[in-house]
């Protein structure tokens, strides 16, 4: 769980929340 959180945190740039969402939730972007 910690590893996933760390990876998500690193893949979730505060200045670029869009790419982060597409990283772990591509269906969200498609719905958008």
Per-residue pLDDT reduced to its tens digit, 1-32 = 555 555 556 555 565 555 555 555 555 555 55
Q: Quote the CA–CA distance of 6 and 29 in Å, as a whole number.
A: 22
Q: Quote the CA–CA distance of 6 and 30 in Å, as a whole number.
A: 25
Q: What is the pTM of this model?
A: 0.16
End-to-end Cα spacing for the chain? 28
The pLDDT score that the predictor gives to residue 9 is 60
Place of tokens 């769980």: 1
The pLDDT score that the predictor gives to residue 24 is 56
The pLDDT score that the predictor gives to residue 31 is 53
The pLDDT score that the predictor gives to residue 27 is 59
Contact 13, 20 (CB under 8 A): yes
The pLDDT score that the predictor gives to residue 28 is 57
Q: Quote the CA–CA distance of 27 and 24 in Å, as a whole number.
A: 9
């Amino acid at each position: 769980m910690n590893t996933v959180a760390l990876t998500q945190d690193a893949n979730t740039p505060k200045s670029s929340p869009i790419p982060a969402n597409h990283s772990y939730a591509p269906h969200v972007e498609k719905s958008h």
